[in-house]
């Protein structure tokens, strides 16, 4: 499964005159805030085995001054080679202290006497009451996991040969899924691209993620419409469990069953400290985004109140169709923000508690 050889097809981005300060004065990213001349000098001449450089990591944030995170990893090695910049970015985004996280991981490892105890998706049941029993607000529930295969460069740095190999490996694993996940893989290169599965945005374009599009891209969709895997988008896999209802526990259980099968046939890139390794450091840890599409006509007119509630429960509010889109018909996409330093169950509990509070606000607020 692994492809540890040097990434011969991907050539590192040459940037004549690349020097510090490299971000524009109006750049807003966390990476810009964390980078200084000393870190830049120490890292600028380094590269990973796949040829990934500091400029490659920062390129998207440099080209797009409105980037929020402003840095991507090119492979698992990036988080070690460039840890002087990645660690402060990770601490800032996830509101976590790396040293404290190390202590937590060490304690957990000693308790379980096995570093591998968090390498697999949790098996124990999630039980949460329905946050919207009258079905007045929540339109749909969705859980998305970001995963990369162990031993391959990430989509920011991968060559075409390895990208095709990943597609082949994942499609083979999908054929072994249980009956409730029966469906079909649609290659974007050979078939029309389904609605909602578009080429990456300008941030991903600048990071190199869109290279060779649409070759080796595609989506597997189950016949019942409750499960999908997007192959070779921002990460090798985006694993999605969804339902047009308010039952978060059931959506989570469906995902558990899927991961139990996938983990028998796929090995994911993982680190004892950082969890599942992803192209964007915002997805490190569980790699899980638990979210709902929810209609909030009153809070749509009181967005400051909604934003305050989201901040209190560490939630992210996005537009109707995801990040950097507008809110249409007062329908928000609300999800957990923190993924690192907490468990998959805690991600779900955080969202559930926050959504319950937001629904209560929607019902009681005066406009």
Binding-site residue numbers for ATP are 140-144, 238, 289-293, 318-323
Let me know how long the chain is: 367
Residue given tokens 């202590």 in the structure block: 103
**What phi and psi values does residue 238 have, to the nearest 5 degrees?**
-115, 110
Give the span between the Cα atoms of 192 and 143, in whole angstroms.
Answer: 25
Give the 3-state secondary structure percentages of the chain, helix then strand then coil, rounded to 5.
35, 15, 45
Give the span between the Cα atoms of 90 and 273, in whole angstroms.
Answer: 12
Could you tell me how far CA 117 lies from the centroid of its own chain? 21
360: helix, coil or strand?
A: helix
Output 24-28 pairs: Cβ under 8 A, ≥24 positions apart. Answer: 24/62, 24/65, 26/65, 27/61, 27/62, 27/65, 27/67, 27/70, 28/65, 28/66, 28/67, 28/68
Q: Beta-strand (E) ranges in the chain?
A: 138-147, 183-187, 218-222, 227-231, 237-243, 270-271, 275-276, 288-295, 315-318, 331-336
Select from 64, 109, 67 the least CA-distant residue to 89. 67
Q: What DSSP state is assigned to residue 245?
A: S
- Binding site: what residues are annotated? 140-144, 238, 289-293, 318-323
What residues have CB less than 8 Å from 262, skipping those under 6 apart?
Answer: 173, 177, 239
173: helix, coil or strand?
A: helix
Give the span between the Cα atoms of 150 and 267, in whole angstroms.
Answer: 6
What residues have CB less than 8 Å from 324, skipping those under 6 apart?
Answer: 201, 318
Could you tell me how far CA 226 lies from the centroid of its own chain? 19
């Amino acid at each position: 499964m692994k492809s540890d050889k040097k990434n011969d097809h991907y050539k590192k981005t040459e940037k004549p005159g690349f020097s510090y300060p490299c971000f524009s004065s109006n750049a807003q990213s966390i990476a810009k805030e964390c980078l200084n001349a000393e870190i830049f000098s120490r890292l600028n001449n380094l590269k990973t085995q796949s040829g990934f450089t500091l400029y490659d990591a920062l390129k998207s944030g440099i080209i797009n001054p409105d980037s929020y995170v402003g840095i991507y990893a090119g492979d698992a090695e990036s988080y070690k080679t460039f840890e002087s910049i990645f660690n402060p970015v990770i601490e800032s985004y996830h509101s976590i202290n790396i040293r404290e996280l190390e202590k937590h991981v060490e304690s957990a490892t000693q308790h379980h006497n096995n570093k591998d105890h968090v390498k697999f998706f949790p098996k124990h049941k999630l039980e949460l009451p329905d946050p919207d029993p009258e079905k007045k607000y929540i339109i749909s529930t969705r859980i998305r996991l970001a995963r990369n295969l162990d031993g391959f460069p990430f989509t920011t740095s991968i060559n075409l040969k390895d990208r095709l190999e990943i597609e082949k490996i994942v499609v083979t694993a999908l054929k072994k899924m249980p009956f409730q996940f029966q469906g079909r893989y649609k290659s974007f290169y050979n078939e029309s691209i389904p609605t909602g599965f578009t080429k990456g945005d300008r941030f991903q374009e600048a990071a190199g993620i869109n290279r060779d599009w649409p070759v080796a891209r595609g989506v597997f969709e189950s016949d019942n419409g409750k499960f999908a895997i997007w192959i070779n988008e921002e990460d090798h896999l985006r694993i999605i469990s969804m339902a047009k209802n308010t039952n978060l526990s059931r959506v989570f259980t469906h995902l558990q069953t899927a991961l139990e099968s996938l983990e028998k046939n796929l090995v994911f890139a993982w680190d004892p400290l950082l969890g599942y390794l992803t192209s964007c450091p915002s997805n490190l840890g569980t790699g899980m985004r638990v979210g709902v599409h929810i209609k909030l006509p009153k809070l749509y007119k009181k967005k400051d109140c909604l934003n305050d509630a989201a901040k209190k429960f560490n939630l992210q509010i996005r537009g109707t169709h995801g990040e950097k889109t507008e809110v249409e018909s007062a329908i928000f996409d609300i999800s957990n923000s923190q993924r690192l330093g907490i468990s998959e169950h805690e991600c779900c509990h955080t969202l559930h508690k926050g959504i319950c509070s937001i629904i209560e606000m929607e019902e009681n607020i005066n406009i």
